[in-house]
Amino acid sequence: MHDPQTITILLQRCREGDSDSFDELIPVVYHELKRIAHRQLARWRPGQTLNTTALVHESYARLARNAGVDLDNRKHFYAVAARAMRSVVVDYARSLFADKRSGIRADIDLASLPDDGPARAEQVVAVDQLLEKLEALDAQMARIVECRFFAAYTLDETAEALNISRRTVQRKWQRGRAWLAAMGSEAGQ
């Protein structure tokens, strides 16, 4: 286990233009990214083609393409990693039902995903699309939903990643879930 300061130092070196620092970050953050990916994919049925290792590697590749982005510290890094995982999972979900859909109509239930693979994929894509709308209304709430739903962060992990209080996360998570459920049922009508 590496000292949290190690991540911050490597990110600082990256911001300063040290091209090797992001590659040095891989072994430092790999275990944590794999833990996050495992929790996220635990919601999906066994047998899907996207596995924990693939999710980590693809997310990290997306992060590496933006290695020059100002990442302040490990908390910020993991929040951005959650966003990268969201992108990978949504792309995967889109590919599962791309030929079968005529429009998003999923009922949104952030507590559980449907058992059926295409229905599950449809809900993931629906949440992603609604998050784009939510971000325009309340960017912090959108980040909270993203951390909780796509990265499967706990309330405490979300608070730490976003550098806000647990109470704020709890309150906005409840409001975000209600907003998404309402918007999801409106879209299905």
* 15 confidence band (pLDDT: 50, 70, 90): confident
| Total number of domains constituting the chain | 1
| pLDDT, position 104 | 46
- pTM comes to 0.69
Long-range contacts of 84-87 (CB under 8 A, 24+ apart): 84/59, 84/60, 85/36, 85/37, 85/40, 85/55, 85/59, 85/150, 85/151, 86/128, 86/146, 86/150, 86/151, 87/59, 87/62
| pLDDT, position 174 | 92
pLDDT digits (tens, 9 = 90+) for 43-91: 665 556 778 888 888 888 888 777 656 777 788 888 888 888 888 888 8
Q: What is the DSSP letter of 101?
A: -
Mean model confidence pLDDT for the chain:
78
Residue 150 pLDDT greater than 50, yes or no:
yes
| pLDDT, position 114 | 46
Domain that includes residue 69, residue range: 4-187
**Overall average pLDDT of the 161-187 stretch:** 87
| pLDDT, position 67 | 64
pLDDT digits (tens, 9 = 90+) for 99-134: 555 454 445 555 555 445 556 677 778 778 888 889
